[in-house]
Amino acid sequence: MRRAVAFIGLLGIAVAGISLSIMPMSRPAAAPSEQRTFLIPASDGYGIADCISSKSECGKIVANAWCESQGFGKVVAFGTADRTDFTGTVTKPTPVAAAEQPLSITCGE
């Protein structure tokens, strides 16, 4: 009985190893000339708003990591989003506190 259980366990481990070796390890990269801008809420819960809005070195690291996680090569621009990026066609401007203003990350190549 122990041999049967050990054999089934060993077989399961072998099948899992084979399936992991067959699966692609990374996401396909975006087209080289394609750029995309992402709007991220400043209160996203990760605490990255200070780095990205100040355009400091830590912001560049965070923005590059964001772009790579979305399948892009590197960050093109990052910072606080422009009002026209998130208000759309609203004709009457509404006051938005700086803490609530979304962040913008543009990824490319």
Mean pLDDT of the chain: 76
pTM over 0.85: no
CA atoms within 13 Å, Cβ hemisphere of 65: 9
- Lowest model confidence (mean pLDDT) among 16-25, 38-47, 61-70, 98-107: 16-25
Asked if the model's pLDDT at residue 16 lies above 60, the reply is yes
Mean pLDDT of 6-22: 68
Asked if the model's pLDDT at residue 62 lies above 70, the reply is yes
Rounded percentage of the chain residues whose pLDDT exceeds 70: 65
pLDDT band at 64 (very low <50, low <70, confident <90, very high): very high
Mean pLDDT of 24-43: 72
pLDDT band at 43 (very low <50, low <70, confident <90, very high): confident
- H or E segment at 20? helix 2-22
Asked if the model's pLDDT at residue 50 lies above 80, the reply is yes
- H or E segment at 75? strand 74-80
